[in-house]
Amino acid sequence: MSLKALDYESLNENVKNCQYAVRGELYLRASELQKEGKKIIFTNVGNPHALGQKPLTFPRQVVALCQAPFLLDNPNVGMIFPADAIARAKHYLSLTSGGLGAYSDSRGLPGVRKEVAEFIQRRDGYPSDPELIFLTDGASKGVMQILNCIIRNQKDGILVPVPQYPLYSATISLLGGTLVPYYLEETDNWGLDVNNLRQSVAQARSQGITVRAMVIINPGNPTGQCLSEANLREILKFCCDERLVLLGDEVYQQNIYQDERPFISSKKVLMDMGAPLSKEVQLISFHTVSKGYWGECGQRGGYFEMTNIPPRTVEEIYKVASIALSPNVSAQIFMGLMVSPPKPGDISYDQFVRESKGILESLRRRARIMTDGFNSCKNVVCNFTEGAMYSFPQIKLPPKAIQAAKQAGKVPDVFYCLKLLEATGISTVPGSGFGQKEGVFHLRTTILPAEEEMPEIMESFKKFNDEFMSQYGDNFGYSRM
């Protein structure tokens, strides 16, 4: 008999081509070592609660009450829940038709979308229309929905930064489109040079690719840079000239660790630029409850906002969303809470501010400890983590190390990261997983390990690295500090 339907050979090639090396060599080895009893420090995923970050109290109280609405009728509920959490739970339940157990509108609860629109308006100073905001099960789902609408076949290209977050490459592969890379300038603090973009587009077009959209990740993942307003203007102008949809991955907008370049949304910059651009550039911005000081990854909550997308296209996006019925309702409530946190005067306000500030300030200190730590190492240079949750140091591997990696049949940065893992238990992701220029090597770590463990982690990293560099080096090494 011929091949069976799910024999490997007969699987959809797009699935096989998709790369999402979640169980890449590093992760597998780390899991093995852990099973053998070695202490592993997982710095490979932006998953804050898994590394001990406590959830914010107020949103968890509100959602617990929504999970068990019968508590609201119990006279003793005030013994374990503050009044503002009770009031807020009642508010959100009133926005649903049947509590957390009923499908909502496929675009998300209208009341929550309204709160999101009000948040965007407060943030940007420009009106936002709840009808153009769709809630999603995490930002990833939104990205997939939008790319699904854009990509028709492999002649459709999407501009993606390199290094990039692999969601983009994986989804583009699954949908059978073409990834058109543009390189971020490491020496310019991972800056985005519009001339590079032009070149990438021209080259893609010469090969028959219709470039249709451009992805920016701001603040950057894995690169941690924050785009300047001037840079965003250039990008928007470029998208207008080239008729590209701009997909603005802005999930790290709360994670800013310097004061020179605060987060500024693509939407605000676009509106600031005024007509005709503000009426022409098609923009879709993504946000999530998984990042920021919330870090509620397990909830799978997010939204996207559409700007300048024609109504009939919005209808089509709605239709596709409706096939999945609705995003999960408790995460929709998390999203509502994220965009309308307790206000001054609320019972829970002080606690909320204390908790969220505590997390953010600690992340800021950790970003500094980590970047400085890397820069004190031999043959390692690292741009400061201005935002997001990652450091992406460049490891200048000596020729002997590259040689040794080849002999071991490994990509050089994989070789380095494996040795690091074996020596220290620090589980990182090699830069080759994100894409990097040829001949340069990186690794990505999160800045999420607990602050008090950070000095020790960096010390053990330095010890490993400097020994590695001595073992393989020609004594020409240097360090930035």
Partner 1 sequence: MRRFVIGQAKNLIDQTRRRRPQPHHHNNLRLLSLLRPSASDSTTVSSPRLFSSSSSDMPGSDSSSSSSIPVTLDSINPKVLKCEYAVRGEIVSIAQRLQDDLKTNKDAYPFDEIIYCNIGNPQSLGQQPITFFREVLALCSHTALLDESATHGLFSSDSIDRAWKILDQIPGKATGAYSHSQGIKGLRDAIAAGIEARDGFPADPNDIFMTDGASPGVHMMMQLLISSEKDGILCPIPQYPLYSASIALHGGSLVPYYLDEASGWGLEISELKKQLEDAKSKGITVRALAVINPGNPTGQVLSEENQRDIVDFCKKEGLVLLADEVYQENVYVPDKKFHSFKKVARSMGYGEKDISLVSFQSISKGYYGECGKRGGYMEVTGFTSDVREQIYKVASVNLCSNISGQILASLVMSPPKPGDDSYDSYIAEKEGILSSLATRAKTLEEALNKLDGVTCNRAEGAMYLFPCINLPQKAIAAAEAAKTAPDAFYCKRLLNATGIVVVPGSGFRQVPGTWHFRCTILPQEDKIPAIVNRLTEFHKSFMDEFRD
Residue numbers 417-446 binding partner 1 by CB under 8 A: 429-430, 432-435, 444
Nearer to partner 1, 443 or 469 (CB): 443
What does DSSP say about strands 133-136 and 302-307: parallel, antiparallel, or unpaired? antiparallel
Q: Which amino acid is at 196?
A: N
Distance CA 307, CA 132 (A): 7
Minimum CB–partner distance for residue 369 and partner 1 (Å): 17
Q: Which amino acid is at 127?
A: P
Among 225, 330, 391, 465, binds partner 1 (CB under 8 A): 330
Helix (H) or strand (E) holding 183: strand 178-183
Task: Extract the tokens encoding 152.
Answer: 């028709």
Minimum CB–partner distance for residue 187 and partner 1 (Å): 21
Q: Which amino acid is at 184?
A: L
- Decide: helix, strand or coil at residue 100: helix
- Decide: helix, strand or coil at residue 288: strand
End-to-end CA distance of the chain: 67
Among 218, 265, 299, 348, binds partner 1 (CB under 8 A): 299
Nearer to partner 1, 61 or 379 (CB): 61
Phi, psi of 398 (to 5 degrees): -70, 155
Among 83, 102, 353, 408, binds partner 1 (CB under 8 A): 102
460 touching partner 1, by CB under 8 A: no
Window 236 to 275, contacts with partner 1 (CB under 8 A):
242-245
77 touching partner 1, by CB under 8 A: yes
Q: Which positions ≥6 away from 222 have C-beta within 8 Å?
A: 163, 165, 388, 390, 392, 429, 431, 434, 444
Nearer to partner 1, 412 or 433 (CB): 433
Among 121, 122, 279, 322, binds partner 1 (CB under 8 A): 322
Among 90, 91, 234, 298, binds partner 1 (CB under 8 A): 298
Nearer to partner 1, 327 or 398 (CB): 327
Minimum CB–partner distance for residue 474 and partner 1 (Å): 30
Positive/negative CA dihedral, 370, 371, 372, 375: positive
Window 364 to 393, contacts with partner 1 (CB under 8 A):
none
Distance CA 321, CA 106 (A): 6
Window 15 to 74, contacts with partner 1 (CB under 8 A):
15-24, 26-27, 30-31, 34, 39-42, 44-52, 54-55, 57, 60-61, 63-65, 67-71, 73-74
Q: Which amino acid is at 48?
A: P
DSSP state of 408: T
Cα 156 to chain center, whole Å?
A: 24
Among 87, 121, 125, 152, binds partner 1 (CB under 8 A): 152
In the block, tokens 């894409």 appear at 435
Distance CA 46, CA 139 (A): 14
100 touching partner 1, by CB under 8 A: yes
Window 184 to 243, contacts with partner 1 (CB under 8 A):
203-213, 242-243
Minimum CB–partner distance for residue 400 and partner 1 (Å): 25
Q: Which residues pair with 191 in a beta bridge?
A: 185
Nearer to partner 1, 433 or 473 (CB): 433
Q: Is 8 exposed, middle or buried (0-12, 13-18, 19+ CB in 10 A)?
A: exposed
Among 13, 229, 361, 459, binds partner 1 (CB under 8 A): 13
Window 154 to 173, contacts with partner 1 (CB under 8 A):
154-155, 157, 162, 165-167, 169-173
121 touching partner 1, by CB under 8 A: no
